[in-house]
Structure formats: structure tokens, C-alpha cells
Chain A
Amino acid sequence: MMNKLIFGRYIPGDSFIHTMDPRAKLIASFYFIGIIFLANNWQTYGILAIFTLFAIFLSKVNIRFFIRGIKPLIWLILFTVALQMLFTQGGDVYFSWGIFTITEFGVVNGLFIFCRFVLIIFMSTLLTLTTPPLDLSDAIEYLLRPLKVVRFPVHEVSLMLSIALRFVPTLMDETEKIMNAQRARGVDFGEGNLIQKMKAVVPLLIPLFVSSFNRAEDLATAMEARGYQGGEGRTKYRVLHWHLKDTVVMLAFAVLTVILILIRS
């Protein structure tokens, strides 16, 4: 069931993208999502697509992964595209039936939105496929640091984040185990009507919560026993390094932005 989830997984490797600084990757991904809204014609979308495909090529990750990443969202994408197509007015009218009209602008807009979705998903999948979750949380901690000025608990948030990330696979395993145990006791998950389905979840949810509480207690005790007293005065084991290539990537994004602004209509 959860095995189908590609988005959010990490695939080990040592490509150009893999060895980039996670801060650079994080900034770049968010920046990319920002500049995607600059694109408004075929040329700009073409350049963004080439740029994305080149990044995927650099990551040496099989393109099948990325296409799989789209699958869970395909209905959302198609729904949005369909809405755009059916309700956008303007240009030549190809087809009309009641309030639905398919027009030239509608089709073009729909396709643009489709491209936008796909590119955003590709880029964010690229980020998660090539960056270990812990690196990501380090990067987030670093980037949130300025917020300390406004008394934002940066250390606590990033600690929670890294613990949460660390326990996602463990909890998934546990879910699967408890599901199997309850199925062996005669529970049918996902069968029957809505109420039956919801009732069937109780024997799964309660043990999961209970074990999370126990786990939290054990973890807190273990952390305290190892001398954890909060964020003050801690040194870092994992240190992030900004390399020349990270700067190069940032420059590439700057150039991309300039090109987009120049050729957008």
C-alpha cells in the first residue's frame, strides 16, 4: 500500500545533485517553484522543461521514479486542467455545449497548468530523491536561523523535524505489522461501507498511538540519559559545506531567471 509512495523517498547515489549542499538544493527547489510562475509562453516553458530534465539527468536517477511520483496526483492535475479547459473564455471556440466551451485559450491554459504541475512535482521529487531526510532537516534548521531574532524556537522545531523524519519509516513498518496482525485476527481493512471501514481502523490506530507514546517516553529517557539538555551549547556532528558547485547552481538559477524575464510575453 505505502510501497507505492515514491514522493519523499531517498535514493542513495553520488551524482552531481546528490553531493550538493542540502541548503542549496532546498533554496533552489523553492526558487524554482517561484520562477515557474514567470513562464507564460511556449518558449519559457520549454526552457524550464529542458532545465528540469537536465537536472534529472545530472542526478542519474531513473526517470521512471519521477513519472511514478506524478501518479498519486494525476487526478488532481487532470481535474484542474479540465476546469481550466472548460471554463476559460477567449480565442477561437472549438466546441460548445451549455456552459461548457472549449476555446483556444482554454486549451493553451490547461496545457500550461499541466506543465506547471509536472515541473513542480519533478523538481520537488528530485529534491527528496537525492537528499537524505536528515540533511534536509539540517538545511531547514540552518535556513530558519534568522527567525531566532523573533524568538522562534529554531532548535526545538528542527529537533522535532529530524525525529519525526527518522520515525516515519519505523512507524510505517509498525503500521504494516499491526495491520497484518489484525488481519490475521479477522479484520477486513478497506471493505464494507464507510462506517465499517472507519470501524476497522480503530484496532490499527489505538495500538499505533499507544506505541508512539511508549516510544516517545523511551526516547526522551534515552536522550536525557545521554546528557541532552536542550539546544544551548551543543556542537554539531554533521556540518554542512557550501562548495563551489553550489554557487554555480545558484548562478545558473540567476541566469535562468534573467532568460525567463527576457523572453516571457
Chain B
Amino acid sequence: MDIRFEQVDFTYQPNTPFEQRALFDLNLTIEDGSYTAIVGHTGSGKSTLLQHLNALVKPTKGKVTIGDREIIPETNNKNLKPIRKKVGIVFQFPEAQLFEETVAKDIAFGPKNFSVSVEEAERLAAEMLDLVGLDASYLERSPFELSGGQMRRVAIAGVLAMEPEVLVLDEPTAGLDPQGRKEMMEMFQRLHEERGMTIVLVTHLMDDVANYANHVIVLEKGKIVKSGTPQEVFQNIQWLKEKQLGVPTAASFADKLMAKGVSFEELPLTAEALADDLLKDLQKAGDNL
């Protein structure tokens, strides 16, 4: 299911003294089965853009096409549920959305809202809890007695239980320890690879972008300033530094090596790519001995 933005403008509190424009003439496509990363400063409009993806807000101008539904400013607020089921959003600090008595009920809450039968919802809850790495003993516990990291997992399971086709993640690993962060990112990667889920990731961590995404959109002040594959976007390290966006660790190290005379065919973005390139160089040097 593709999501397409055509000349989308968005203004907060239009026609009031507090009017504030957040998005300017956005054109973008999130292709079916892609792993898109959206990066940009705080206040660049990432979260606003995110809310367009499942019609939580409607554009003030332009058109958003989600699958076969078109969302235009005049779209009625009714019957948006099918969209919400297809596009699941994990908001920042999703643990704040837990409310049920037990973990199982909370995870099943989403599916039940979309008229899934109770048995099916409970089955999904158990399956999703396993998927996010918690065992079945947690099902009957209260979500409020879990640790922060576990609550986060339950909240994410709650979104996954709706079995969305598109999964939108707003800094899903913020505030997690390195281990939890890695586990979580790998879980999303598995969902992407094994179930063909389309993933949209908003993050400040360029390493995650380089490691997982296959499409990057750079936002600045509500406008798209660059988009393309990670290779294309990260190619110009100077530009990234000027924009005060991070540079993937591997690319930044490779950049330093290049200053010392090492040359690469193309800028390595991940630790593996960097190691491979360096290994090739070393082998070449060895052969020449």
C-alpha cells in the first residue's frame, strides 16, 4: 500500500491569531514494502507529517493518498477507521498510552476496536507479546507494574496486534538502553523482511537510518530538503554537518580516513560496509607486496 503526498500544506490553528504553518508543499511517496526514514531537526515538521499518514490530521491544502483512500481538506472525519487499521503508529514514549488492567487486555484493545473477535484478539495479544520479546507470564500482569522498557514493548505490541500494513515509528528507541534499542530495531527489521511490512521511521539516530532504511527523507522547517537512498543523502558529509544533522559513525570515520589518503569506491555507511572496504584495501596491499 503506497502513501502519497501531493502538494500538502498544513497549518496549525488556521485563521486564528495563533496560526502556525508546519508543512509547506510536501510531495513524497512512501512505497509499498519500503523502509523509509524521516530525519530532521526538532520542529521540522516530522511529527506533523506522521499524523497525516493515518489521517489523524487532514492537510489544510493538497492531497494525501493512503492506499485507495484520498484525504483532502474537505474529507469527512467519519469512516477513517479502515485507514487507522492499515497504518499503525507507534508514537514517542508509547508507554503513556497503556490503560487496561492486564497486558493481554491492553494489547487486544486495538484489534477489538476494529471488530476482531475476542478470542482472535487474545490470540493476537499472546503472539505479539512473544514477538516483542516478553514471555506469556506477562499476559495477566498489570501494565503499570512493568519496567519502562517492558511497558514500551507492550505498547508496541498493542499497535502490532492491529496487524497494520504500514508501521510508523516515532523514535521508538528513545530512552531505551543500548541492548533494548538493538533488539527493538532488529525486531522491526524482521517484520519488514519477513512480513513485508512497510516501515516509516522517524529518528535522530543516523546509524539506525544507515543500517536499516532504504529511503531517507530530510525535512527542514516543514519542507523536504533532500530525499533518496541513504547512499545519496549521506554522500555529502559537509552538507550534513552544515545542516547539523548527524552523520553515521562509520561514514564519519571513513571521512577521516579519506582525509588521510584512504580512498573508497563509495562512502561506506555501516560498520560492515566499512570493514569490507578496508579488508579489500588490505588484501590489495597484501597482493602487491
Contacts and interface: CB of A to CB of B under 8 A. Distances in A.
Contacts, number: 66
A180 B91 contact: yes
A217 interface: no
B54 A185 contact: no
Interface size class of B (residues with CB under 8 A): 20 to 34
Contact of B110 (A4, A174, A186): A186
Interface stretch (A84-92, A110-118, A137-145, A206-214): A206-214
Interface of A is mostly: helix
Interface string B97-124: 1110000000001100110000000000
Interface residues of A, number: 26
Contact of A207 (B56, B89, B99): B99
A116 to B, nearest CB: 26
A184 B96 contact: no
Contact of B56 (A3, A62, A180, A191): A180
A185 B113 contact: yes
Given A174-B96, A180-B56, A210-B144, A185 B18 contact: no
A52 interface: no
Contacts of A62: 17
B109 A184 contact: no
A186 B91 contact: no
A184 B81 contact: no
A207 B96 contact: yes
Contacts of A264: none
A197 to B, nearest CB: 15
Given A177-B96, A202-B99, A184 B16 contact: no
Given A181-B91, A186-B85, A188-B81, A207 B158 contact: no
A243 interface: no
Interface of B is mostly: mixed
A98 B50 CA distance: 59
Contacts of A188: 81
A184 B16 CA distance: 27
B162 A181 contact: no
A126 to B, nearest CB: 15
B17 A186 contact: no
Contact of A3 (B16, B54, B89): B16
B17 A185 contact: no
B197 interface: no
Given A183-B84, A185-B113, A186-B84, A65 B17 contact: yes
Contacts of A109: none
A185 B97 contact: yes
B172 interface: no
Interface of B: 12-13, 16-18, 51, 54, 56, 78, 81, 84-85, 88-89, 91-92, 94, 96-99, 109-110, 113-114, 144, 158-159, 162
- 7 closest residue pairs by CB, A with B: A186-B113, A206-B99, A181-B97, A185-B110, A184-B89, A3-B13, A181-B91
19 contacts: A68-B16, A177-B96, A178-B97, A180-B89, A181-B89, A181-B91, A181-B94, A181-B96, A181-B97, A184-B88, A184-B89, A185-B97, A185-B109, A185-B110, A185-B159, A191-B78, A207-B96, A207-B97, A210-B98
Interface of A: 3-4, 11, 62, 64-65, 68, 174, 177-178, 180-188, 191, 202-203, 206-207, 210-211
